[in-house]
């Protein structure tokens, strides 16, 4: 995972992943696939949760609700990290 780019929004740290399987990754408990969260003006949903051993927080994979492509990913990245 590329952890060079990260941002904290409302106390939650997000790591830029930038792919089609996950645009952002967070580490948090109590989430379920399909949960939705709004970041800036974009609705994101949980596509996958990667559970970690030894009591570490799972990695939560966020993607936008609806269709998206490489151009959308690029624009969203610029909005977050400009």
Q: Are 46 and 64 in contact (CB under 8 A)?
A: no
8-state DSSP, 23: S
pLDDT higher than 60, residue 1: no
Cα 40 from Cα 24, distance rounded (Å)? 13
**Tens digit of pLDDT for each residue in 44-65?**
999 999 999 998 999 999 999 9
Give per-residue burial for 10-32: e unless 16+ CB within 10 Å, then b. Answer: eeeebbbbbeeebbbbbeeeeee
For the chain, give the mean pLDDT: 89
pTM of the model: 0.86
pLDDT digits (tens, 9 = 90+) for 16-54: 988 776 789 999 999 999 999 998 889 999 999 999 999
Nearest residue to 27 (alpha-carbon basis) of 49, 71, 58? 58
């Amino acid at each position: 995972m590329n952890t060079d780019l990260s941002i904290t929004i409302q106390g939650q740290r997000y790591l830029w992943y930038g792919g089609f399987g996950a645009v952002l990754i967070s580490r948090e408990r109590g989430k379920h696939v399909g949960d939705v969260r709004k970041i800036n003006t974009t609705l994101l949903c949980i596509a996958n949760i990667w559970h970690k051993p030894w009591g570490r927080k799972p990695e939560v994979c966020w993607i936008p609700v609806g269709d998206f492509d490489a151009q959308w990913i690029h624009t969203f990245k610029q909005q977050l990290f400009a």
